Amino acid sequence: MTEMARKRRWKRFIDQESGKALVVPLDHGLTMGPIPGIHSPEEIERWLSAEIATGVVLHKGYAERIGGGLSCGMVIHLNGSLNIDEQPDLKQLVTSVEAAVRLGADAVSVQTNFSPATASHNLRLIGRVVDEAHSWGLPVLSMVYDKTRHDDRALEHLRHFMRAAVELGVDALKVAPPAQLERIPEVLDGVQNHTPVLFAGGALAEENALLALAAAVVRHGAEGICVGRNVFQRAAPALTLQRLLQVFRTGAITDIRFTCPPTQRERETELAV
């Protein structure tokens, strides 16, 4: 009954020109603290704008502080843990779908790090969140990671965990890309045609590797990327986002130089002068 509402809301995360999602997670502060790039709301507002990102992922506190000035899609992240926790992969609910609705969320997300110790917890979590979010017409982005530490079966395990989330009704998936990008079709097989798949950017790496991931997303028909540290920990986050958007729109990595658009705060300052 709420399928149309969920689809309409998910479209807010899609770039109309490329048909791809370029989502920036900014939820790392809960887990990792005030790391470089997201030290303060003001630091984020200097470079973030809807012209270069189709959506953001925020915990509720930062949604209240910067979400009101954003015109891109907003995902409220519902669970988390501190990296000093005895079981950091066992992420607990820290807010509710109803609270996300009150904040004006376009979607909600949960992160599920799968291991033998967390598997049953994760299934209960996903099932509960999906039921609650769908009753409000909100799509659910499920961030699915394999923490089993069996590298020889990594792809097999990831596909199992993705399927489990799909079986429980999630609307989109965020997963780590395979080490060999040519194996992306194996990750997407049987999934992307009904459940959008976004690939995570991971820890800060060479920008060319990030652009290559974006090109592979276009080449293999994935939904987009969900990239945080590989954007906000660079000297010029807006420039990286523009380069990614250009890859999505052209399918090619180019050496074009970009002029960063003004942020919402900069535009308001100009109007006030």
pLDDT for res 270: 35
Number of H helices and number of E strands within the chain?
12, 10
- State how far the Cα of 39 lies from the Cα of 42, in Å rounded to an integer: 8
pLDDT for res 255: 58
Domain boundary assignment for the chain: 3-272
- Residue 44, strand partner residues: none
pLDDT for res 149: 84
pLDDT for res 21: 98
* Per-residue pLDDT tens listing for the chain (273 residues): 689 999 999 999 999 999 999 999 999 999 999 999 999 999 999 999 999 999 999 999 999 999 888 999 999 999 999 999 999 999 999 999 999 999 999 999 999 999 999 999 999 999 999 999 999 999 999 999 999 988 889 999 999 999 999 999 999 999 999 999 999 999 999 999 999 999 999 999 999 999 999 999 999 999 999 999 999 999 999 999 999 999 999 988 875 444 444 444 444 433 333
Give the pair of three-digit tokens for residue 182: 């040519």
Q: What Cα–Cα distance (Å) separates residue 157 from each residue in 10, 23, 147, 154, 160?
A: 27, 25, 9, 5, 5
Tally Cβ neighbours within 10 Å of residue 99. Answer: 15
Residue 106, Cα to own-chain centre: how many angstroms?
Answer: 13
pLDDT for res 1: 60
pLDDT for res 2: 85
- Kindly list the catalytic residues: 145, 174
pLDDT for res 267: 41
3-272 CATH: 3.20.20.70
